[in-house]
């Protein structure tokens, strides 16, 4: 989902058709994926900062 939207530049409508889901489900899942990725990046940065303290 994330890759289709970000890297392959598919619309949520196109993704929904490919995956057989509703268009709003595609948008919702993309939003969740962005939040998860941001959280993981933040955790990674915090762990690297803690290593050097």
- Mind listing the pLDDT tens digit for each residue in 1-53? 889 999 999 999 999 999 999 999 999 999 999 999 999 999 999 988 877 76
Positive or negative: CA dihedral 8, 13, 17, 19:
positive
- The pLDDT, as a whole number, for residue 48 is 82
Polymer length of the chain: 53
Name the pTM for this structure. Answer: 0.78
Residue with tokens 């993981």: 40
**pLDDT at position 44:** 94
């Amino acid at each position: 989902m994330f890759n289709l939207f970000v890297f392959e530049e598919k619309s949520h409508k196109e993704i929904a058709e490919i995956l057989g889901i509703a268009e709003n489900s595609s948008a919702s899942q993309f939003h969740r994926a962005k939040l998860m990725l941001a959280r993981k990046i933040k955790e990674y940065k915090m762990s690297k900062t803690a290593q050097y303290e």
